[in-house]
């Protein structure tokens, strides 16, 4: 590992770049208030599908969240009108011979309902799921599945049936997203000090903005409320945001989030540094992609809980698509290293953050930092960086000097909540 990226964990000695990355992650994560809204809508859709008169009344075995919501990695997306996606699986009780298109059409009919009903006109039938679109930008994707083996719960099949394709192209695909999310969570340990510091700041930032017949697996509570936050998951959220930004104006599919999640879970991350986790995980993904390119093949990433499930079955479409993401990851790692330079001004850091994660989060983070600097200067507390610049005491690395009359405080709490004095 590049020694420049071998950073200390979050805490009293957190460098400025580490603070900036944490603050950026907070701004792109689905906040607690919107998480609650997503949970409420999850429950509402579940009840609607099972309502009396629904074509699926009595035909749903279980509902459960999958993907980012299940591993607490949901971010506010830059795609689809800057909304955010929530993924749900509806495991149905249907004859195993039911045609793929018929399964998807049945779920569409159950949700869309009749004219004037709750979701009518908000629903789209996709190739593998049915999407409910909300006016505020949220999109809930409900994937219908059938259980394959009663003795092996959640080993299921999903259905691929693109409307424009002949039925001969429709197919069933084996999957176990429930098991995969369990595996990711088991391999993404929580650092108590990190999650406490991250959680306090996330809750503070959020405060500034604004039972059924079928079984139900509850949506996990927001990480700042219960269960804690893994530094690996925070790193994955930032990588996903960077991916979304890079692909915003490109044609074709995005590198799958499940692929990122698997490499993240398999990567050993020592300590609680976001920069360290980003370096390690991006290096792991890049190395695997480059090896596939050297072998002149497409990367093949599979579910460790279901080897027949290929996360990369639709991306990369070809080696050109594979090479595009390789170059993206190389640029990301270069920018990550540059962001950690102690000689970089806040203006330069803002430019890098904006290119990595978008101008909105970057500007918000720097604005907050400048506000803290202003308060520090007005109160007579200021920190002098090695370059001679005045920076906020709340974000100072331990190596900088502190200038204040008759006081020499040492260290600081994460996110600058207070200074400790001897």
The catalytic residue among 85, 191, 279, 328 is: 85
* Same domain for 240 and 289: yes
Instruction: Give me the domain span that covers residue 149.
Output: 31-175+214-226
Q: Tell me the torsion sign for CA atoms 177, 183, 186, 189.
A: negative
Q: Is residue 269 part of a domain?
A: yes
* Same domain for 98 and 56: yes
| Digit-coded pLDDT (tens) for 291-330 | 999 999 999 999 999 999 999 999 999 999 999 999 999 9
Divide the 422 residues of the chain into consecutive groups of 10 and give the mean pLDDT of each group.
35 69 88 81 93 95 89 70 74 94 97 94 96 90 93 90 94 94 90 68 61 55 58 94 93 94 92 89 98 98 95 96 98 95 85 93 83 67 46 45 32 27 24
Q: Would residue 215 show up in a list of annotated catalytic residues for this protein?
A: no
* Same domain for 21 and 44: no
* Same domain for 118 and 69: yes
* Same domain for 73 and 166: yes
* Same domain for 185 and 120: no
* Same domain for 365 and 278: yes
* Same domain for 314 and 361: yes
Q: Would residue 87 show up in a list of annotated catalytic residues for this protein?
A: yes
Q: Is residue 380 part of a domain?
A: no
Q: Is residue 388 part of a domain?
A: no
Query: How far is it, in rounded angstroms, from Cα 274 to Cα 252?
Result: 30
* Same domain for 353 and 306: yes
Q: Is residue 143 part of a domain?
A: yes
Contact 400, 385 (CB under 8 A): yes
Q: Tell me the torsion sign for CA atoms 313, 335, 193, 220.
A: negative
Single out the residue in 356, 371, 386 at which a domain terminates. Answer: 371
The catalytic residue among 40, 136, 141, 251 is: 141
Query: How far is it, in rounded angstroms, from Cα 310 to Cα 259?
Result: 9
Distances 211 to 58, 65, 216, 218, 277 between C-alpha atoms, Å: 14, 16, 8, 11, 40
Q: What is the pLDDT of residue 101?
A: 97
* Same domain for 76 and 16: no
Q: What is the pLDDT of residue 227?
A: 52
* Same domain for 264 and 220: no
Output the six-digit token pair for 238. Answer: 């930032």
Helical axes 274-294 vs 319-339, angle rounded to 10°: 150
- Number of domains composing the chain: 2
Query: How far is it, in rounded angstroms, from Cα 415 to Cα 394?
Result: 6
Q: What is the pLDDT of residue 119?
A: 95
Query: How far is it, in rounded angstroms, from Cα 215 to Cα 309?
Result: 24
The catalytic residue among 2, 40, 82, 87 is: 87
Q: Is residue 126 part of a domain?
A: yes
Q: Would residue 313 show up in a list of annotated catalytic residues for this protein?
A: no
Query: How far is it, in rounded angstroms, from Cα 221 to Cα 74?
Result: 12
Q: What is the pLDDT of residue 158?
A: 96
Q: Is residue 363 part of a domain?
A: yes
Contact 338, 352 (CB under 8 A): yes
* Same domain for 157 and 10: no
């Amino acid at each position: 590992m590049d020694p420049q990226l071998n950073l200390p964990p979050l805490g009293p000695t957190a460098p400025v770049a580490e603070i900036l990355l944490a603050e950026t992650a907070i701004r792109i994560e689905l906040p607690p208030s919107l998480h609650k809204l997503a949970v409420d809508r999850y429950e509402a859709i579940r009840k609607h599908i099972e309502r009396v008169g629904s074509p699926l009344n009595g035909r749903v075995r279980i509902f459960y969240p999958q993907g980012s919501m299940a591993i607490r990695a949901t971010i506010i997306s830059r795609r689809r009108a800057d909304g955010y996606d929530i993924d749900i699986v509806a495991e149905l009780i249907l004859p195993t011979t039911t045609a793929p298109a018929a399964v998807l059409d049945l779920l569409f009919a159950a949700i869309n309902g009749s004219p004037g009903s709750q979701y009518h006109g908000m629903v789209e039938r996709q190739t593998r799921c049915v999407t409910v679109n909300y006016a505020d930008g949220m999109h809930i994707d409900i994937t219908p599945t059938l259980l394959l083996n009663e003795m092996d719960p959640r080993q299921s099949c999903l259905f691929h049936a693109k409307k424009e394709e002949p039925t001969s192209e429709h197919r069933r695909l084996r999957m176990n997203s429930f098991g995969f999310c369990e595996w990711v969570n088991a391999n993404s340990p929580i650092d108590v000090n990190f999650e406490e510091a991250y959680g306090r700041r996330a809750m503070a930032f959020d405060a500034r903005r604004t039972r059924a017949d079928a079984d139900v697996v509850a949506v996990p509570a927001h990480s700042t409320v219960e269960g804690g936050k893994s530094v690996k998951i925070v790193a994955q959220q930032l990588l996903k945001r960077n991916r979304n930004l890079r692909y915003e104006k490109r044609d074709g599919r995005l590198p799958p989030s499940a692929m990122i999640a698997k490499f993240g879970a398999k990567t050993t991350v020592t300590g609680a540094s976001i920069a360290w986790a980003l370096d390690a995980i991006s290096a792991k993904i890049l190395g695997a992609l480059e090896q596939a390119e050297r072998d002149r093949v497409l990367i093949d990433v599979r579910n460790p809980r279901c080897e027949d499930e290929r996360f990369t079955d639709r991306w990369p479409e070809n080696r050109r698509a594979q090479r595009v993401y390789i170059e993206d990851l190389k640029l990301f790692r270069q920018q990550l290293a540059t962001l950690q330079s102690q000689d970089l001004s806040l203006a330069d850091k803002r430019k890098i953050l904006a290119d990595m994660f978008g101008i909105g989060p970057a500007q918000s983070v720097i604005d907050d930092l400048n506000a803290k600097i202003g308060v520090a200067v007005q109160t007579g507390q200021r920190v002098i960086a090695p370059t001679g610049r005045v920076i906020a005491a709340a974000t100072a690395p331990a190596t900088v000097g502190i200038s204040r009359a008759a006081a020499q405080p040492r260290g600081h709490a994460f996110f600058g909540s207070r200074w400790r004095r001897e």
